[in-house]
Chains A and B, each alone.
Chain A
Amino acid sequence: MAHPWIPNSHPSILREMLEAIGVSSVEELYSDVPPQVLMDPREWDSLPIGEGRPLSEVELLRRVEEVLSKNRYYTDPPPFVGGGVWPRHVPPAVKHIISRSEFLTAYTPYQAEISQGLMQALFEYQSLIAELVEMEVVNASHYDWSSAIGEAFLMASRVTRRRRVIIPETANPLHMEVARTYAYGPGISVEEVRVERDTGFIDLDDLEARNLGEAAALYVEYPSTYTGVVDENLEAAGEAIHKHGGLLIVGFEPISMSLLKPPGRLGADIAVGEGQPLGLGLNYGGPYLGIFAVKWSSRLVRQMPGRLIGMTSDAEGERAFAMILQTREQHIRRSKATSNITTNEALMAIAAAVYLSLLGPAGLREVAEASWYMSHYASKKLSNSGIESPLLSGEFIMDFTVRLPRRAREVRESLARQGILAGIPLEGFSFFTDKDLLLTVTEVHTKRHVDLLVDRLAGALGG
């Protein structure tokens, strides 16, 4: 029987082809597989794979609906949860463009001339991010923020020939788990620097005591994903690491960059970040988009991981695009490559390019400002209702910490039952207590949503 996705699967077509090949059956084409390994088709067909049989499209779409119907969608209000990815508006135009056949079903643009539009879109992604961070070189994407950090640590170690990196004790714990996995292979150690308990800023005295002469890099989040704080000691910390010959790696949230001085002007050598806020949606874990940028320096660019698209010209002198500086990559350099990355998140990079083109400078700033206003409104209302908020005095954009009179984990559970996803309990994280909660409010939250959150929180605490 012919299958709709397998055009040559009709027995008569297969017979014609097998005859042309000069074999009597498909079996003969597996004649070089040792018999101990070759599987009996009947045995294979009886394995519990899928439902044990092909499904019709009617059945299939019913299963699709079942998967979708067994989840709870927190849309009203949207989750008050960040942690490195955030509830953000996804413009329909973004999803439309990445659904286009020519982008969706294309491979990596190995053949330049037939992939010009794909490469221009990726070049534009690189260029849009470059303007956002004011750094000159941006690659065509990593898997997510955390793996970009891992790669940045490896790169910093190669550039400086040192094997230690320093992070603030409040750095995103999941990101740091990933970074430590990447650091494990080459034996890079990850060491924490103290953070001031009142402001949430890096403790500069403690930083100086960290034996910076051996440090490959200092990594700082901007703003912090787990305290929300914009670290006002960032520039001074950067100067300290530079003085001792290490690199400054800034981890950034892209939408906030419309309000904040960009990493390129803070002295960052490498900037990494999460592209998820740029129209990708939450999608329960991914795909997301690891952003990776470096400043214009041969020493850095030659050690940079990942694919790069560059602008050049063609045989007629017209503008054209090509993959560039490929001698860094695995398919050329094999074990000497700067990374093993091949498949990346290209389609998500295109989504981010569409998002940034739609929003423009003013639109992006409005999103950031709306997040700032709504989160500050929430913090203020919480404070008025007797909750310690914000817990740290450092300024924030959309994430902030609060201290509840009760165990945050229990309060969160109680609100989840009422349809409200209220933040991330900070129990066991850094210097926080079991009463501390990280809350997130962005442009997708309305005043009514925030009022509801505060009301329910107060209710849960009172009862």
Chain B
Amino acid sequence: MGWRQARWREPLVFELSRPGRRGSAPIAVEEDVKRAVGGLRLPEGLARDSLPELPQLSEVEVIRHFTRLSQMAYGVDNGPVPLGSCTMKYNPRAAMRLAFDSRLEALHPLQGDEHVQGVLEALYKVQEWLKHITGMDACSVHPAAGSQGELAGVLVIKRFHELRGEGWRNTIVVPDSAHGTNPASAAMAGFQVLEVPTARDGNVDMDALKAALGRDTAGLMITNPSTLGLFEENILEIARLVHEAGGLLYYDGANLNGIIGRARPGDMGFDIAHVNLHKTFSVPHGGGGPGSGPVCVKSVEVVDGVTLADLLPGPRITYDEETGLYRVQPPGRWSVGRLRAWIANTLAVLWAYVYILALGPQGLRLAGEVSVVNTNYFIKLLEGHWAYDIPYGKGRPRKHEVVVSAKPLKLETGATAEDVAKGLLDAGLYAPTIYFPLIVEEALMIEFTESETKENIEAYADRMKEIAETARKSPEEVKWWPKNTSSRRVDNVRANHPRTVTPTWRVERLRREGKLGPLR
């Protein structure tokens, strides 16, 4: 194998500390100022008696330390990151020119609207473009991430029923293939969660769905294409049933890349939808965030004179045709309210602004189409292989992603989905999402997006086959993977044991000094 990740055995920043070193130039307060106000006064009893135990390093050392740490990380710029449902597409650098511009650092969110028209116009346009992309009637770019968009969405559902005097509707239905955030968001909004199974063809089990819907139904949350990468063929019937039962239909936009340019949630009967700008619209993931999760609705009437659009979280941005000014509109009377203190994860939305502007509708459609071609090409390369199975909806085309089961491999050799993942890492390829969705045993959930080359997709399939052969020949070898990464397989038992769990350096320090007991 030619690939090897840096293994620096880099000490913690605390261990690099040397008293007296500093990484910032001293700030000299002007003498006139000091004279005018006298000495520093702090409230008695609340003054800190010793400085915090922060490390002391020069700027050179700080830069080297974090540069070395970055060399022990892996992103889309390093190679394929085909994590299913994560849509790890390339993050175009043209967008960085806007989102990383240092001038923006000075823009306070309480600056008057008329003095921040450039930014407001861009946010407004994203808000408007998303309406057309999703086929919905109104959007808010306020939520900070997909999960927050979901929370906003289920709160809209809650408010909808309460305003209609049907507050008893306390159940949200989700398919068993749903992202974990769906049931978690529903629970956070105070709902009961009812799961419905997936049929063998990959669609929602319609009999089970009919049985699940009833007087308690507040709504259904579903992603389409599903986490199996399959388009829900009965979506129109599902929408009809949910609406008939008095519920609202919620679209989890995590998988939007699979249909963008070809189908829109708004045309499928969805009432509420969120999208992830850090998935479909190329905002970089940053090792876990920041993201942005705009939420959109159809203008369904709630009660007289109030539609779902009035329930959206905010602030939102409006355009005043008379003055030609973009305005920040605080959440109104019917809104579910604020989910974060300020308008949006502005820089993330600006990134998406550049991305959408660059591609236009044609480019977005092309991105969606090529992501689908990439998925199905990969399936073709792996189809019929003894080690891997693709359960549910046999022979149906997948969209943005595919879920491969390594169950045959496990039965034959004992090697698991996790072992396959580690074998991929060893070849310098990031692993798929593993053990998800829960309905597939030994799941490997793979999403190349439109950013991956044909050659890399082939290399990925080749490597998976090679892993299977190695597992058959020497089953013990695969348990020792990975070898080429910054660390060997990590000890998760030690990581989580009450006596050894170490969430911070402070815990390690106090434990060594005998000042901290086990976490129980």
Contacts and interface: CB of A to CB of B under 8 A. Distances in A.
Contacts of B313: 181
A204 interface: no
Interface string B104-121: 111111111001111101
Contact of A235 (B37, B45, B100, B505): B45
B501 A29 contact: no
B373 A301 contact: no
B110 A81 contact: yes
B382 interface: no
Interface in A248-306: 257-262, 281-288, 296, 298, 301
B332 interface: no
Contacts of A242: none
B43 A38 contact: no
B504 A137 contact: yes
B52 A344 contact: no
B340 interface: yes
A46 to B, nearest CB: 7
B211 interface: no
A455 to B, nearest CB: 15
Contacts of A285: 109, 342-346
B247 interface: no
Contacts of A73: 103, 106-107
B111 A72 contact: yes
Interface string B476-520: 000010100111111110111010111111111010000010011
Interface string B61-101: 01101111111111111100101001011111010111011
A339 B34 CA distance: 47
Given A74-B108, A146-B338, A373 B29 contact: yes
B108 A105 contact: no
A428 interface: no
A102 B362 CA distance: 30
Nearest to A41: B365
A459 B286 CA distance: 47
Interface stretch (A182-190, A213-221, A398-406, A429-437): A182-190
A177 B340 CA distance: 9
B235 interface: yes
A247 interface: no
Contacts of A79: 106, 108, 110-111
Interface string A66-77: 111111111100
B259 A33 contact: yes
B145 interface: yes
B506 A136 contact: yes
Contact of A308 (B70, B150, B503): B503
Interface in A11-34: 13-14, 16-18, 20-23, 26, 28-34
A136 B338 contact: no
A174 B193 CA distance: 30
The bracket for how many chain B residues form the interface is: 35 or more
Contact of A322 (B47, B377, B495): B495
Contacts of B425: 111, 113-114
B268 interface: yes
B288 A282 contact: no
A357 interface: yes
Nearest to B53: A131
A343 B488 contact: no
Given A370-B27, A380-B36, A55 B357 contact: yes
Interface string B256-286: 0001011110011000000010100010111
Contacts of A78: 106
Contacts of B369: 26, 29
A38 to B, nearest CB: 6
A64 B354 CA distance: 7
Contacts of B500: 312
A243 interface: no
A361 B53 contact: yes
A144 B357 contact: no
A452 interface: no
A123 B487 CA distance: 16
Interface stretch (B18-26, B295-303, B384-392, B465-473): B18-26
Interface in A186-210: 186-187
B485 A116 contact: yes
B339 interface: yes
B517 to A, nearest CB: 8
B55 to A, nearest CB: 6
Given A51-B360, A311-B502, A373-B37, A28 B397 contact: yes
A114 B74 contact: yes
Contacts of B104: 68, 281-284
Nearest to A90: B105
A80 to B, nearest CB: 10
A365 to B, nearest CB: 6
A5 B488 CA distance: 34
Interface in B326-359: 331, 336-348, 350, 353-354, 356-359
B198 interface: no
Nearest to A147: B340
Nearest to B10: A120
A179 to B, nearest CB: 9
B502 A343 contact: no
B180 A126 contact: no
A366 interface: yes
A141 interface: yes
Nearest to A52: B360
Contacts of B88: 107
Contacts of A53: 360, 362
Interface in A313-345: 313-316, 318-322, 324-325, 329-337, 339-345
A457 B413 CA distance: 78
A90 B102 CA distance: 9
Contact of B374 (A8, A353, A354, A358): A8
Interface in B170-227: 180-181, 183-191, 193
A172 interface: yes
Given A54-B360, A286-B144, A344-B145, A107 B285 contact: yes
Contact of A37 (B68, B129, B267): B267
Contacts of A309: 503
Contact of A175 (B46, B74, B341): B341
B479 to A, nearest CB: 9
A70 B117 contact: yes
A374 interface: yes
B422 interface: yes
Given A97-B66, A134-B52, A283-B104, 8 more contacts: A6-B366, A66-B118, A136-B506, A147-B339, A177-B338, A184-B155, A286-B347, A287-B347
26 contacts: A3-B359, A7-B454, A36-B267, A68-B98, A68-B104, A70-B118, A93-B63, A107-B86, A107-B88, A108-B288, A115-B72, A115-B74, A117-B71, A121-B70, A140-B288, A146-B340, A282-B106, A330-B180, A334-B180, A337-B184, A340-B151, A343-B291, A348-B290, A381-B36, A446-B30, A447-B33
